[in-house]
Structure 1
């Protein structure tokens, strides 16, 4: 993530994953941004079909792609070049073709969330899977889509369905990562273990006793209201420290005012 200070330059160990195939990409920067999106979610194999400006010919072209990749240069360095989409998918067993609009073909249409669990199962059984992404302006041709087993489309606002190339790759990669048990790189950190039942029940006893003193429970309602109150507090799934802190809050609210009360002066003084 921007500004995270993480080293993005080290190539991860490649694991079986879908092949990302860019058909006639027009700009070096888009190729680089696709590589960055791939690296975010554990995709490592890129295939390029007849890039408009050639690949990797042209120092400026490659320089622009490398800069846009933001450290995911290992993907660009190993990218393979093909003259046609048919040749780029020739060794694959299953292919998805991305498109944002209906093409009139009798193919199954799936979202990335629907597609990736079965794709993970196929790859786990040793199949090779690829995802075709089309040109920035016109996408894939109907013939290229006809090469695929299914259409991959994205659930976006129909009034503005346009995604750029790297965004489409990123969305597919995100769902792939989720489908293969991808976990956040960091989680909320706490040194305190979950609260023990003893701590929680002690807090309940204290709170309910104080509510009794102040007349909180209407006649005949204490049992059901106590059960509801306990349910509310249980849903907090407190740590030991949180339960002790909350009890301290309750204690301060009840005992603090008592300490501050000033006795009325005796009459006649």
Structure 2
């Protein structure tokens, strides 16, 4: 059935963004958009879609969810797509060789709904053939996996989006409004900057050795830093600490940066 010609709904302030990482077929993007619209999600973000954007195949497959397709935003990389988000779920069915917390849909979406009082949230979905890469999963706060039959665990993108969107709406409609945070939460952009700052200092000291383990060691640090529920004041304070430890930063004659001034300062309440 095609959808009736209805006005575009206003997005819920607590609704998560749906981030499709390197989707291949326009039809898959369209059916994912249709699944989003079924449950009131409208913020669709596409990271480097293989066949470009816009896509008439996506529009046709969306079966009337034009408001989702028309509002979709395209990004060159994942960091840009999630920069403004404060809590991110990575969906995956494969076991990962990393210390990332794994939850089922009910608990994972309950945590996301709770986090939505403090800032924007999002859910990552990977490529059709092999899902998300480890470096992409590392940037999320938690992993959510579905309790599918291990003998046939494959889900397509639209099925995964539908399951997560349904669970989000079920939890969100039944949840009491969470209390507002005392401090604004750090965005993924804030956390990525903190990770990059720490990694750059450690590289300069030769910390990442032996060389063949460097990439994995860096990813482990990103995983640890991404798991924490930082607020912006905490990130600013830690950036100030790192700037103070940087010999290049201590040697310059410039006035202290806002990050450096944040060291030791108590956050306003």
TM normalised by structure 2 equals 0.62
Alpha-carbon distance in 2 for matches of 1:67, 1:162:
24
Q: Give unpaired runs (5+ residues) of structure 2.
A: 175-269
Alpha-carbon distance in 2 for matches of 1:93, 1:155:
26
Question: Where does residue 129 of structure 2 map in the other structure?
Answer: 137
Question: Where does residue 88 of structure 1 map in the other structure?
Answer: 81
2:94 pairs with 1:101: yes
- Could you say if the C-alpha distance between residues 66 and 127 of structure 1 is closer, same or farther in structure 2, counting changes exceeding 3 Å? same
2:63 pairs with 1:65: no
Asked which structure has the greater CA Rg, the reply is 1
List, as ranges, runs of 4+ consecutive aligned residues in structure 1 with deviation greater than 4 Å: none
Question: Where does residue 30 of structure 1 map in the other structure?
Answer: 28
Question: Where does residue 170 of structure 1 map in the other structure?
Answer: 162
* Superposition map of 1:190-229 within 5 A: none
Superposed CA deviations along residues 40-80 of structure 1, whole A, max 9, x for unmatched, are 01111000000001112xxxxx2211111011111111111
Question: Where does residue 186 of structure 1 map in the other structure?
Answer: none
Residue 10 of structure 1 deviates from its aligned partner by 3.3
**Maintained 8 Å contact 2:102/2:142:** yes
Question: Where does residue 41 of structure 1 map in the other structure?
Answer: 39
Superposition CA RMSD, Å: 1.4
Alpha-carbon distance in 2 for matches of 1:20, 1:79:
10
Question: Where does residue 150 of structure 2 map in the other structure?
Answer: 158
Q: Give unpaired runs (5+ residues) of structure 1.
A: 57-61, 183-269
2:75 pairs with 1:77: no
Question: Where does residue 110 of structure 1 map in the other structure?
Answer: 103
Question: Where does residue 11 of structure 1 map in the other structure?
Answer: 8
Alpha-carbon distance in 2 for matches of 1:42, 1:24:
23
- Could you say what secondary structure the match of 1:81 adopts? strand
- Could you say what secondary structure the match of 2:151 adopts? helix
- Could you say what secondary structure the match of 1:159 adopts? coil
Residues paired across the two proteins, number = 173
Alpha-carbon distance in 2 for matches of 1:9, 1:156:
35
Residue 181 of structure 1 deviates from its aligned partner by 1.6
**Maintained 8 Å contact 2:3/2:63:** no
Alpha-carbon distance in 2 for matches of 1:93, 1:180:
17
